[in-house]
C-alpha cells in the first residue's frame, strides 16, 4: 500500500471535522518528538479516506480512523527505530480481515495480555466483521464487534516480528528477514451460523497458544 502522503487529502463530512481535529491533537501529543504535525495529519486523513470509502458506519468513522492511524504511526516508529518497547508484534493476515485474522488477533490479545502486540489486516478487506465470528468470540468473553477490516500497509508488515498468513496466497506481502507462519484455515466468508464458525475459532485458539509457546510467552487462562 502506498504512503498516504501521496494521496489527495479527503474532505471529511461536516460532522467529523471536529472529531478528526481532536484526534489529531491527541496523536500529536502521543507522538511528540517522534513525528511532526504534517506526518500525523497525513496518516490520519489517509486512514479516514481508506475507511470511509469502504463504507464504515458513519458514527464509528472518527474512532476507527484514529485507531488505524495510531497503529500505522506506531508501526512506522518501530520501523524507523525511534520507538519500541521490546514486545513481539504478531501480524495476522488473511484476505478479508473479517473473520480468521480478527479472531486470531482477539485471541492473541487475550492470551498474551500486555506481553505481545497483536495486529491484523487483509489483502482485500471486507465491509464488516463476520457476524458469526463476532458471536463465537463473544462466547469466549472477547469483544471484536468494534473491529473494522483494514488493509495491510508496508510499515505495518515491516514492523511485525511474526507474520501469520491465512489463505491470502500471492497477495500476502513478503519481506526478507521476516518470520512467516502459514495457517491453512478455511475461509468463513459467507458462514452465518455460529455452529460453523465455532470449530474454526477453537482451531485458531490452539494455534495461537502454540505460537505463544514458541515465543516464550505462557498464555493467560
Instruction: State the cell numbers at 11.
Output: 474532505
> pLDDT per residue over 128-173, tens digit each?
999 999 999 999 999 999 999 999 999 999 999 999 999 888 888 8
Residue 74, all three cell numbers: 506506531
CA atoms within 13 A on the CB side of 38: 2
Distance CA(161)–CA(12), nearest Å, equals: 34
pTM: 0.90
Beta bridge partners of 117: 89
pLDDT tens digits, one per residue of 28-87: 999 999 999 999 999 999 999 999 888 888 899 999 999 999 999 999 999 999 977 889
Residue 38 and residue 154: Cα distance in Å, rounded? 19
Largest CA distance in the chain: 49
Amino acid at each position: 500500500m502506498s504512503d498516504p502522503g501521496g494521496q489527495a487529502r479527503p474532505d471529511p463530512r461536516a460532522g467529523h471535522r471536529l472529531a478528526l481535529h481532536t484526534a489529531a491533537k491527541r496523536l500529536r501529543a502521543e507522538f511528540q518528538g517522534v513525528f511532526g504535525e504534517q506526518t500525523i495529519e497525513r496518516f490520519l486523513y489517509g486512514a479516514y479516506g481508506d475507511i470511509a470509502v469502504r463504507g464504515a458506519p458513519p458514527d464509528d468513522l472518527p474512532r476507527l480512523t484514529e485507531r488505524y492511524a495510531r497503529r500505522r504511526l506506531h508501526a512506522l516508529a518501530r520501523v524507523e527505530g525511534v520507538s519500541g518497547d521490546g514486545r513481539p508484534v504478531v501480524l495476522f493476515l488473511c484476505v478479508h480481515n473479517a473473520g480468521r485474522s480478527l479472531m486470531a488477533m482477539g485471541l492473541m490479545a487475550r492470551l498474551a495480555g500486555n506481553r505481545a502486540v497483536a495486529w491484523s489486516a487483509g489483502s482485500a478487506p471486507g465491509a464488516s466483521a463476520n457476524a458469526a465470528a463476532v458471536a463465537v468470540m463473544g462466547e469466549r468473553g472477547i469483544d471484536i464487534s468494534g473491529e473494522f477490516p483494514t488493509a495491510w500497509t508496508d510499515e505495518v508488515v515491516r514492523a511485525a516480528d511474526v507474520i501469520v498468513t491465512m489463505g491470502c496466497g500471492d497477495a500476502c506481502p513478503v519481506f526478507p528477514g521476516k518470520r512467516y507462519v502459514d495457517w491453512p484455515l478455511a475461509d468463513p466468508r459467507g458462514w452465518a451460523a455460529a455452529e460453523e464458525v465455532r470449530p474454526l475459532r477453537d482451531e485458531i485458539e490452539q494455534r495461537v497458544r502454540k505460537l505463544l509457546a514458541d515465543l516464550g510467552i505462557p498464555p493467560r487462562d
